[in-house]
Structures are given as C-alpha cells and as structure tokens.
Amino acid sequence: MHTAVDVIRAKRDGNRLTDDQIDWVIAAYTRGDVADEQMSALAMAVFLNGMDAAETARWTAAMIASGSTLDLKVDRPTVDKHSTGGVGDKITLPLAPLVAACGAAVPQLSGRGLGHTGGTLDKLESIPGWRARLSDAEIAAQLADVGAVVCAATEGLAPADRKLYALRDVTGTVESIPLIASSIMSKKIAEGADALVLDVKCGSGAFMKTPGDARALAAALVEIGVAHGREVSALITDMSVPLGRAVGNALEVAESVEVLRGGGPADVVALTVALAKEMLTLAGLSDVDPAEVLASGRAYEVWERMIRAQGGDPDAELPVARHVHAVKAERDGVVASMDAYAVGVAGWRLGAGRARKEDPVQAAAGVLCKAKPGERVAAGDVVLELHTDTPDAVDGALAALHGAFTVADDAPAHGPLVLDTIRG
C-alpha cells in the first residue's frame, strides 16, 4: 500500500521511483486522493532531483492511462508535429494541410497561447466561424475526409497532465525536463498518431534558451516516444528572431495563407518544408517533395477544406486592428538584431496573448516586422508596426521593445534555422 508521503520522501531523498509508485501516485492524484499540496511537493522533488529515462517514460504512461486515447482509423499513415512554442510560430497552419496534401493524415491537437508565446487555436479562432472543439467522432471523420484536423484536445485525453500542468504553473516547477517531456508526450501519444516530429525551439523567444538545454529536452522527448513504440524525431530550431514577419493571431493567419498560396517569408517557408520532409520520412512517404506540393497550390486547397470542415470561412475578411503605431529606425543602416522575446512580450501587451489561461485575446492585435535582421533601412523607415484595439496598451509594448532591435552599418550573418536533428 502506497502513501503520498512515502512517494514524496523517496524522490526527495534522490531515489528512483518504482513503476508501482508512479502508477499509484498519478492515478490517485487524478482521482483527488492525493492533495494538491502533496503533488506540489512531489513535483518540486522531481524538479530538484530529476527522473531517469525509464522513470520519465513510466510517468508518461501513467498520465496517458489516466484518460482515454483516440482511435484513428484512416487509410493513410498518421503523423503529427509539436512545437515547444515561440514568437511568430505559425508553422502548424501551413504545415498540416501541406503534409495532408502529400498523402499523410495529420491529427494536430493544439493549445492556446500563454505569455509571450502564441497559441495555434487563438490564431485559427480569428477566422470567422471557425471552432476549436470537436468530438472524437468529428476528429476521426475530418481526418478521413480532409486528411488534416487542427483542434483542441478532448477532455478525456491525459486528464492527469491537465491537473499537473496547472499545478506546476503556480508552484515554480515548470522548468523540469522530465515534467515538460512527459507533459508533451502524454498528450501526443494519447492522440494516437503513428509518428511525431518535434520542433524544439532554442533562443531568446523560446522556453529553452541554450542549445544544450534544447538538445536535452529533444533527447528526452525522443526517448519517451521510442519507449512507447512511436516513430519520433526532433528538429532543434532557432528562435532568437521572430519567425516570419507577423506576430499575433489574425496577422499570422494572413501570413500562413500567403505561404500556402506560394509566397510568404522565406524562413516560414523553409521551416514548413523542413518539418514536412521529416514528417513524410517518418510516415514512409519520403519520395514526395513537399516544396513542389506547396508551390502547386494543392496544400491551399486542403487548407480551405480544413477550415470549412470546422465551420470557418476561409474567404472571409480577417479582423483588422483599430489602432496601428509605427516604430521607426533612427538612422540609416542594416537591421543587425531583433530580440524575439521582446517582440513576443510587446505582442502580448498589445492584446495578442494572455497572462492567465482564462484571459481573452484580441484577434487583430500583434506586431508586424516590416524589416528583419539583414535588411537595409533608412532613418524614418518603419521597422515594427504595433497593432491593437486598445491604444492605451501601446506604451507598455514600447517599453518591452526598448533596445529590442539595433541598426548598424553592417549586420552579422545569421545562423541556420535548423540547428540540429535528433532521431530515435
């Protein structure tokens, strides 16, 4: 017979938790038999003393077992993508229809933004009529018909993670690689896709600031996936500069549509294609060239069907902010740097993000990067446009942007977008 105190003590003293201890404590916490303060103590013990790969895999399995799993019966391979979050990271929007147009099925259960990182559901909800909540049956039907679905996770998937995530957020135990990895992978494995590609962001605008931390998280994620019989790989990608030019909800939808129509910023196109290639390789479709499919317009056709299937109108006008404020260059030169975190915080303060999960967001708020590192500007040229429905928010955004970009005589060469790849 286990008790919460015994499990807490074991991890507090640096011991490895047994499979039985892990199974019991996760199930008991989900039922409400282990109190929040006890789970907080255990989370802190894990934060301080860690878990090995086997413990983390078992912890993940216990969280999966706390709820239901999706049964995806489709006649093509299923593959998903998960990003650890960044600034201007709208890649799911063009990527899901692109991979579907290439012959795979993409079940993408996504989340909302918190703080300076945007949420895929918030972006899509700026499309008139689009709805995030689907039943298991609706997810399966859309996947079979369209080949791609982007929606909110159903209530039954990994309820232990939902409880534990909220607890970690208020107890200072978020930054634990075993807890981060098990949180991500419990939902993704419960989702039921055959394969998963992880986009682990690295840099000022990412959760993981250094390449070493990003590699450690990527390795932990891949190890869990392999332990659960999934095809998994991880790309470590740069998030020191905002991705693309648009940061916000409707702004990022518009940019994603540009990409699907054959245009859009080069970095968004490059990362979309790189992730698509990796997903197609894991799905056994490596002979398909996603760059050609993107250029052909077939991915845009899937996008239209995907949006309509969830009640949205892909032809509708997107919301436009009532107030736009320009941030201008003070001298001639080349934009030498632009801090992703500062731009993300500015977008958040303008109304594009939220401080708490229950907060509303403005569909039209955000930042447009009119110039990016490496691009030449003249004194008085607009570098950033601040979009908001609440002009009083501009001062806070400007404070966040103090020193966020520099203009110099020359700009240093920017490094590669994809820093490393880790495969299982």
* 156 and 267 belong to one structural domain: yes
* 259 and 381 belong to one structural domain: no
Q: Which residue has the higher pLDDT, 170 or 402?
A: 402
pLDDT tens for 347-364 read 999 999 877 767 789 999
Tell me how long the chain is: 424
CATH number at residue 248: 3.40.1030.10
* 296 and 404 belong to one structural domain: no
Residue finishing a domain among 262, 289, 315: 315
* 94 and 208 belong to one structural domain: yes
Q: In what order do the strands lie in the sheet with 246-248?
A: 246-248, 366-369, 382-388, 323-328
* Nearest by Cα to 393 from 350, 361, 355: 350
Q: In what order do the strands lie in the sheet with 231-238?
A: 79-83, 195-202, 231-238, 418-423
- Residue 247 within a domain: yes
* Nearest by Cα to 305 from 110, 100, 134, 90: 100
| Dihedral sign from CA coordinates of 263, 364, 353, 179 | negative
71 sits in which H/E element: none
Please give the residue range of the domain that contains residue 16: 4-50
Backbone torsions φ then ψ of 363, nearest 5 degrees:
-65, -35
Q: Which residue has the higher pLDDT, 369 or 414?
A: 369
pLDDT tens for 219-240 read 999 999 999 999 999 999 999 9
Give residue 185's pLDDT band: very low, low, confident or very high (50, 70, 90): very high
Give residue 91's pLDDT band: very low, low, confident or very high (50, 70, 90): very high
| Dist CA 285 CA 422 (whole Å) | 19
- Residue 236 within a domain: yes
Total of domains in the chain: 3
Catalytic residues: 82, 161, 168, 183, 187
* 245 and 296 belong to one structural domain: yes
CATH number at residue 31: 1.20.970.10
Look up residue 4 and give its amino acid: A
Contact between 92 and 110 (Cβ < 8 Å): yes
* 232 and 95 belong to one structural domain: yes
- CA within 13 Å, CB half, 156: 9
For residues 188-198, average pLDDT:
94
CATH number at residue 381: 3.90.1170.30
